[in-house]
Homo-oligomer: A and B are copies of this chain.
């Protein structure tokens, strides 16, 4: 239960969840990603970013929208950044967070049921 930052292994391993036994290490890495997505505030935040023109947003813009304290927003952004869901870039006075669509794509693969259906 000590998996906080996501092992980069997740990006390449990940046999689809439903087609074979995971090792417990794989399960831990995957669970780490799902746990990051398992918070309504973070999901809402993700969808907010996704709705922006270039799928990016300045951190301070989120504070008022979410109605949470600035440290709390910063915390969630860090969790998602550490999980590889967001990238971070300083531009001018603010820091812009952007979506990394690939990880979500990987998760979609993991959840693929095709093989299970065919079996």
Contacts and interface: CB of A to CB of B under 8 A. Distances in A.
B112 A99 contact: no
A111 B107 contact: yes
A51 B17 contact: no
Nearest to A43: B27
Copies in the complex: 2
A3 B108 CA distance: 23
A17 B104 contact: yes
How extensive is the interface on chain A, given as a class?
35 or more
A56 B72 CA distance: 41
A92 interface: no
Contacts of A113: 101, 104-105, 108
Contact of A27 (B3, B47, B50, B107): B47
B40 A31 contact: yes
A40 B27 CA distance: 5
Contacts of A99: 18, 116
A89 interface: no
